[in-house]
């Protein structure tokens, strides 16, 4: 976080999830900056002890989605066919239906979820929350392949069989 705050870079979105390799996590950090600033930032991130590799990609190089949840009064949906039709048009799916409210979810790009907010506001939108961006690089064989390449270039460097990665539960249990 200090790498970003020192440079006055605002994080638009950040997601952390397990990768396809057990014990290794992927961070997806979205910022809006020039390519030069992003390249410098990537180099700084790679210098961190726990970082194996950092990449930067433009929006054209990735497939990404965000999840959004919307809480709407159930009586609005029941009484107004228009609201139900709008939710269907946006591909919304009901995840919780109660007497007083219904929660819908959608996935898509920020612009799509923002449009649905504007549509639902006049119909009593109670609450809204959006996840961070989840992304996959289009032209990539996956991190596992990159890790094999790294190990081939650095023989003897046992990246995944590191004692801390293998004993993660023991080392980090409190």
CATH number assigned to the domain comprising residue 39 = 3.30.70
Read off the pLDDT of residues 112-144 as tens digits, 9 standing for 90 and up: 999 999 999 999 999 999 999 999 888 877 666
Measured distance CA(59)–CA(55) in Å, rounded? 13
Q: Would 76 be classed as within a structural domain?
A: yes
CA atoms within 13 A on the CB side of 108: 15
Does 52 score more than 90 pLDDT? no
Same domain, 80 and 124: yes
Percent of the chain with pLDDT over 70: 83
**146 in a domain, yes or no?**
yes
> In this predicted model, what pLDDT tens digit does every residue of 10-27 receive, in sequence order?
999 999 998 887 888 889
Name the nearest CA neighbour of 135 among 110, 160, 154. 110
- What pLDDT, on the 0 to 100 scale, is given for residue 151? 66
Range of the domain at 99: 65-130
CB of 130 within 8 A of CB of 67? yes
pLDDT in tens, 98-116: 999 999 999 999 999 999 9
121 lies in some domain: yes
Res. 150 pLDDT band, cuts 50 70 90: low
pTM for this one? 0.71
Give, for 44, the enclosing helix (H) or strand (E).
helix 35-46
pLDDT greater than 50 at residue 170: no
Query: Are 126 and 70 in a shared domain?
Result: yes
Q: What 3-state DSSP class applies to 17?
A: strand
- To the nearest whole number, what is the mean pLDDT of the chain? 83
106 and 83 within one domain: yes
Domain contains 104: yes
Going by C-beta distance under 8 Å and a sequence separation of 6 or more, which residues neighbour residue 17? 25, 26, 28, 134
């Amino acid at each position: 976080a200090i790498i970003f705050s020192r440079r006055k870079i605002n994080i638009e979105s950040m997601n952390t999830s397990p990768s396809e390799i057990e014990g290794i996590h992927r961070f997806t950090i979205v910022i809006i900056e020039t390519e030069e600033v992003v390249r410098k930032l990537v180099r700084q991130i790679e210098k961190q002890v726990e970082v194996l590799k950092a990449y930067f990609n433009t929006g054209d190089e990735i497939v990404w989605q965000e999840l959004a949840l919307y809480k709407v009064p159930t009586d609005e949906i029941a009484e107004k066919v228009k609201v139900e039709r709008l939710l269907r048009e946006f591909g919304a799916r009901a995840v919780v239906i109660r007497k007083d409210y219904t929660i819908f979810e959608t996935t898509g790009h920020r612009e799509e979820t923002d449009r649905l907010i504007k549509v639902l506001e006049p119909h009593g939108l109670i609450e809204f929350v959006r996840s961070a961006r989840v992304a996959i690089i289009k032209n990539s064989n996956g991190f596992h392949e990159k890790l094999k390449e790294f190990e081939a270039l650095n023989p003897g460097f046992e990246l995944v069989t590191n004692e801390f990665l293998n004993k993660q539960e023991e080392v980090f249990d409190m």
